[in-house]
Amino acid sequence: MTTTSARQALVIGASRGLGLVLVNELARRGWKVVATVREGAPDWGDGIEGETLEMTSPEQLVALRERLSGRELDLLFVNAAIDRGDLTIDEVPTGMFTEVMITNTLSPLRALAALRDLVQPGGTVAVMSSEQGSISRNTEGGYELYKASKAALNQLMRSYATRHADDGHTKLLIDPGHNRTRLGGPDAPLDPEESVPAVVDVLEAQTGAPGLQFLDRHGEPVPW
């Protein structure tokens, strides 16, 4: 691992919401951050370097990997998800199902596959998940497609962790809670400015931990 003052992170999906707050919080703590957006230039603080990426494009993932060649990351964090409304699964059009699953489930794992070799031994590979991906906690109705996409993400992350059990990386699925973002809605109970620093506390505290963990913003395990 690099020294604290030189820790380096790559955050996929940092144009707004949790991702934007995350990169600013990492930079505030002295991390050097590469942050990706699909377009535009958000209000980032000092210490943040922007890159353009459409995560669903394998070609753009390869191009980003080439541009970042030689970097030694302490953290690779994939934060990207969409929600297409509260439909029961029988009401979901095939195109919508495909879009959500590609964005929320397939593309994060493609991003890890393309970029994981930039993470040095002892570094962390993390993906933003959700309590809604917990099968055992799915006891209330609603948002069936989004829940399914996060449960599938968790399952594929488990497969990823099994395949790469000996790579020396800490592997985390993070549940940040229900936040007031475009995805979470204006009535969500949590403020990202308060919940995201707790998420970064968890990322820093878990550095070097073995295996895959599914944790909430307090560092507590979320049931699968």
CATH code of the domain containing 130:
3.40.50.720
Buried b (16+ CB within 10 A) or exposed e, 5-24: eebbbbbbbbbbbbbbbbbb
Position 109 pLDDT exceeds 60: yes
| Mean pLDDT on 138-160 | 96
How many Å apart are CA 106 and CA 102, to the nearest integer?
5
Number of domains observed in the structure of the chain: 1
| Mean pLDDT on 52-74 | 97
C-beta of residue 188 within 8 angstroms of C-beta of residue 181: yes
Angstrom distances, CA of residue 6 to CA of 3, 53, 169: 5, 24, 18
In a domain, 221, yes or no: no
| Mean pLDDT on 124-145 | 94
pLDDT score for 177: 80
How many Å apart are CA 120 and CA 90, to the nearest integer?
44
In a domain, 223, yes or no: no
Angstrom distances, CA of residue 188 to CA of 137, 181, 184, 192, 203: 18, 8, 6, 10, 23
| Mean pLDDT on 198-219 | 96
In a domain, 86, yes or no: yes
In a domain, 186, yes or no: yes
Q: How confident is the model at residue 3 (pLDDT cuts 50, 70, 90)?
A: very low
pLDDT score for 192: 79
- Phi-psi map region of 27: left, alpha, beta (phi>0 left; psi -120 to 50 alpha): alpha
pLDDT score for 1: 46
pLDDT score for 134: 96
C-beta of residue 171 within 8 angstroms of C-beta of residue 125: yes
Q: How confident is the model at residue 49 (pLDDT cuts 50, 70, 90)?
A: very high
Which residue segment(s) compose the domain that 70 sits in?
Answer: 4-216
C-beta of residue 64 within 8 angstroms of C-beta of residue 48: no
In a domain, 222, yes or no: no
| Mean pLDDT on 88-104 | 97
Higher-confidence residue: 68 or 193? 68
In a domain, 224, yes or no: no
52 contacts: CB under 8 Å, gap ≥ 6: 36, 37, 38, 39
pLDDT score for 101: 97
Range from 34-38, 175-179, 202-206 carrying the lowest mean pLDDT = 175-179
Q: How confident is the model at residue 183 (pLDDT cuts 50, 70, 90)?
A: low
The most distant pair of C-alpha atoms in the chain lies apart, rounded to whole Å, by 51
